[in-house]
Structure 1
Amino acid sequence: MSNSESLSRVALKKITPEVSGAMGALHGAAVSAAQDAKVEPELLELIRIRASQLNGCAFCLDMHTKDARAGGETEQRIYALNAWRETPFFTERERAALALTEAVTLVHDGHVPDEVYAEAAEVFDEAQLAALIWAATVINAYNRIAIATRMVPGAYQPVQRKS
């Protein structure tokens, strides 16, 4: 069966609205924790994009690259995110968050190494670290939902932020 002939997948929001709502509430709580900890929204988008790249989630990549651009992120940094270690485009803080995101996303490859956690702990306080871990956890869950249900990318449009 080709992708164009793929099997119809379950509509999670329709079939399990209470669980979908709980997932939305978890996302909202994670965003609030990040705001309270003064984690930049732009950094959260980098986390979401990087985890989605690692997981191969086309739907989330479409959504979060659009959101990042709407938030002022440059095309150059979005395109280079997959090779962030080899570029000069990311700050020490962003690099630590990206390394932590990769470790959380690829937890099966050796858990979250002490050196990765220590590097993040040097540039983020405990509330910020907690917010980063929650952000990575939530996007990983959303990646799995979008991939399992074959959510189709392309139609998403970012909400215009108020100045």
Structure 2
Amino acid sequence: MTQPAFHITVHGTPGPQGSKTRNAAGALYESSAKVKPWREAVKHAALDALAYDQEWKPLNEPVCVDVTFTLQRPKSHYGTGRNAGRLKASAPDFPTSKPDLDKLIRSTQDALKDAGVLVDDSVVASLSSGKRFVLTGADALRNPGAVIRVWRLNNPTKEASS
């Protein structure tokens, strides 16, 4: 497989974007307080990576985005007392509760656009994504965050630094 045009690891708690709530005055706001910090974390990690590539221009062509989100396991997955710190046999292998994967993708793609990685998230023609718990499988991190890769689809051999 060719090298991705762009590749970063982001540390922080992934925040979903999409659900809105109305306050008492009727104004809409994001339901998750994690959206803004997550978008900022992605944006800053992307800007740091792009700082080393003076030739970088936001991708304005079909791309494939691959994102693996790493989430913290809930405390309920672990035993108590003398079994504290031990994973219960009933603990699931994959995250199946909130946040929703599509909402995590939404916030992440918007942050990539804000950082200048993509001209717009509409250029994403192919998407691969997943949720993992900390240290459980390929691309799972030691702490919450995400591994993000972007490939050019029209000219995949054209490399860019990241």
Fold shared per TM-score above 0.5:
no
Structure scoring higher RCO (CA < 8 A, sep ≥ 6) equals 2
Q: TM-score, normalised by structure 2?
A: 0.26
Which structure shows the higher helix fraction? 1
Q: TM-score, normalised by structure 1?
A: 0.26
Greater radius of gyration (CA): 2
